């Protein structure tokens, strides 16, 4: 089989890139390790930056996001028993959309099926070959049959555990990492959100986040130990702990329910450089990971895809290699700013087990400065809604 761009991974990055390329007449095939149902079964992000929303519109799959997504003009920070709202709309005239990554993935899958583009699900043992030549190829096994896909370029959109980043020689690849000494225990529950907007809470017992998927479905998180297991946390224990970390009003409004999804996610900051080696490009979680505190993971995948889509358009439509040569530097410039913001929010809002008295005083000063300074709030707002591409 032959195509122009082989895309590894049918998560948001791979599906969004595939949709944009297809709409601009650039042939592409997606190879995905799992089944479509498995991909849809993963519960992940919830906040969509304006840039990501624009990309989904450009891909022709933004209609349901606009009709079902919730436009949020701000967020609330809870600390010291009080809640403090930061209004993106008042400060910088922008907003975000709350719309689950699962729904984005579903919209992208449906868009791809409607466009008649090829996705090979349950593609096993994917391996990349001749990526330093101008005729790279991808080998994989599907339904027990060995297959080979010739292409011009390979987009590695296969997430943190994928094969693409590992296909870049060790002598070329540089990685940067910070692992956090705690995780997030999250539940999905069909109960109304405690507040109209997200609440990020800093508490001496640990971080908490009250998010949502709709006016009737809440997405709730508490910081937990890396030794914790999901089975250690009954719904009752979860709600009891969450209430202790919220301000009184939010705790009163919290309506316990029976969770239908419960998981623990570890937190890390990670970046691989460069994002291009020969004819292989990395995009999304294959290239970088952020702690979910800043709601940047999904949105960084979208900005990587924007730069890569533009680069491939340059190559195929205008015969220029300028875009593909600049891709890694352009994408990394935005990635590192989002890494900084995600690290900063995580450092400000979580309880670090080994923190000293001085560390805790600095954290309180950070929160107090954000509460009292419009300049600090403008900086928070422009990073949270998404820096320009």
Residues within the interface to ligand FAS (CB under 6 A):
8-14, 31-34, 39, 44-46, 101, 123, 126, 157-159, 161-163, 265, 284-285, 292, 295-298, 301
Phi-psi region of 93 (alpha: psi -120 to 50; beta: other; left: phi over 0): left
Residues in the chain, total:
389
CA distances from 116 to 18, 29, 119, 158 (A): 11, 11, 9, 22
136: nearest Cα among 301, 281, 16, 31 = 281
Has 243 been annotated as catalytic? no
Three-class SS string for 189-243? ECCCCCCCCCEEECCCCCCEEEEEEECCEEEEEEEECCCCCHHHCCHHHHHHHHH
Burial (CB count within 10 angstroms: exposed 0-12, middle 13-18, buried 19+), residue 77: buried
> Does 47 sit near ligand PHB (CB under 6 A)?
yes
Task: Please pick, from the candidates 295, 300, 367, 385, the single residue that binds ligand PHB as defined by CB under 6 A.
Answer: 295
**Contacts with ligand PHB in 144-203 (CB under 6 A)?**
198
Give the Cα separation of 117 and 322 in Å (integer). Answer: 27
Q: Annotated catalytic residue: which of 12, 136, 193, 292?
A: 292
Has 337 been annotated as catalytic? no
Has 203 been annotated as catalytic? no
> Does 267 sit near ligand PHB (CB under 6 A)?
no
**Contacts with ligand PHB in 222-251 (CB under 6 A)?**
none
Has 296 been annotated as catalytic? yes
> Does 77 sit near ligand PHB (CB under 6 A)?
no
**Contacts with ligand PHB in 204-223 (CB under 6 A)?**
209, 211, 219
Task: Please pick, from the candidates 7, 16, 29, 45, the single residue that binds ligand PHB as defined by CB under 6 A.
Answer: 45
> Does 65 sit near ligand PHB (CB under 6 A)?
no
56: nearest Cα among 110, 16, 27 = 16
Span from 39-47, 77-85, 155-163, 274-282 in contact with ligand PHB (CB under 6 A): 39-47
Element (H, E) at 48: strand 47-48
Answer with the entry of ligand PHB, ligand FAS, none that 293 interacts with (C-beta below 5 to 8 A by kind): ligand PHB
Task: Please pick, from the candidates 11, 14, 193, 292, the single residue that binds ligand PHB as defined by CB under 6 A.
Answer: 292
* Residues in a beta bridge with 293: none
Smallest separation, CB 293 to ligand FAS (Å): 9
Tokens linked to 102: 């699962």
Pair 367, 348: CB distance under 8 Å: yes
Q: Annotated catalytic residue: which of 277, 296, 307, 327?
A: 296
Pair 16, 7: CB distance under 8 Å: no
Smallest separation, CB 111 to ligand PHB (Å): 23
CA angle 270, 273, 278 (to 5 degrees): 140
> Does 342 sit near ligand PHB (CB under 6 A)?
no
Cβ-based nearer residue to ligand PHB, 138 or 198:
198
> Does 95 sit near ligand PHB (CB under 6 A)?
no
Taken in order 244, 246, 250, 256, is the CA torsion positive or negative? negative
Q: Annotated catalytic residue: which of 99, 221, 307, 384?
A: 384
Has 161 been annotated as catalytic? no
Span from 20-28, 41-49, 317-325, 353-361 in contact with ligand PHB (CB under 6 A): 41-49
Smallest separation, CB 295 to ligand PHB (Å): 4
Span from 22-30, 256-264, 278-286, 287-295 in contact with ligand PHB (CB under 6 A): 287-295
Smallest separation, CB 75 to ligand PHB (Å): 8
- Token pair 């530097």 is found at 329
* Residues in a beta bridge with 87: 74
List the catalytic residues.
72, 200, 292, 296, 384
Residues that bind ligand PHB (CB under 6 A): 45-47, 198, 209, 211, 219, 292-293, 295
């Amino acid at each position: 089989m032959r195509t122009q761009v082989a895309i590894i991974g049918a998560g948001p990055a791979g599906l969004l890139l595939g949709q944009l390329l297809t709409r601009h007449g650039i042939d592409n095939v997606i190879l995905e390790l799992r089944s479509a149902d498995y991909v849809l079964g993963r519960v992940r992000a919830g906040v969509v930056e304006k840039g990501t929303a624009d990309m989904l519109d450009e891909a022709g799959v933004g209609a349901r996001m606009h009709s079902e997504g919730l436009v949020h003009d701000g967020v609330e920070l809870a600390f010291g028993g009080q809640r403090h709202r930061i209004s993106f709309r008042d400060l910088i005239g922008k907003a975000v959309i709350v719309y689950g990554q699962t729904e984005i993935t579903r919209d992208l899958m449906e868009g791809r099926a409607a466009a008649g583009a090829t996705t090979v699900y349950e593609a096993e043992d994917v391996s990349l070959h001749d990526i330093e030549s101008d005729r790279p190829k991808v080998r994989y096994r599907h339904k027990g049959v060995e297959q080979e896909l010739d292409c011009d370029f390979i987009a590695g959109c296969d997430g943190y555990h994928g094969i693409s980043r590992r296909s870049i020689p060790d002598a070329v690849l540089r990685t940067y990492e910070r692992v956090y000494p705690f995780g997030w225990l999250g539940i999905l529950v069909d109960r109304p959100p405690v507040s109209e907007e997200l609440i990020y809470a800093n508490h001496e017992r640990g971080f908490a986040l009250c998010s949502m998927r709709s006016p009737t479905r809440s997405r709730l998180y508490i910081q937990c130990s890396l030794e914790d297991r999901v089975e250690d946390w009954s719904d009752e224990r979860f709600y009891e702990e969450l209430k202790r970390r919220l301000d009184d009003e939010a705790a009163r409004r919290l309506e316990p329910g029976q969770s239908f999804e419960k998981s623990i996610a570890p937190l890390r900051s990670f970046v691989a450089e460069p994002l291009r080696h020969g004819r292989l490009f990395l995009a999304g979680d294959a290239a970088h990971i952020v702690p979910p505190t800043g709601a940047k993971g999904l949105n960084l995948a979208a900005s990587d895809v924007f730069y890569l889509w533009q680069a491939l358009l340059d190559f195929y439509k205008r015969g220029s290699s300028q875009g593909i040569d600049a891709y890694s530097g352009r994408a990394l410039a935005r990635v590192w700013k989002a890494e900084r913001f995600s690290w900063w929010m995580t450092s400000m809002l979580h309880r670090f087990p080994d923190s000293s008295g001085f560390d805790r005083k600095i954290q309180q000063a950070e929160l107090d400065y954000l509460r009292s300074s419009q300049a600090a709030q403008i900086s928070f707002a422009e990073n949270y809604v998404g820096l320009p591409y």
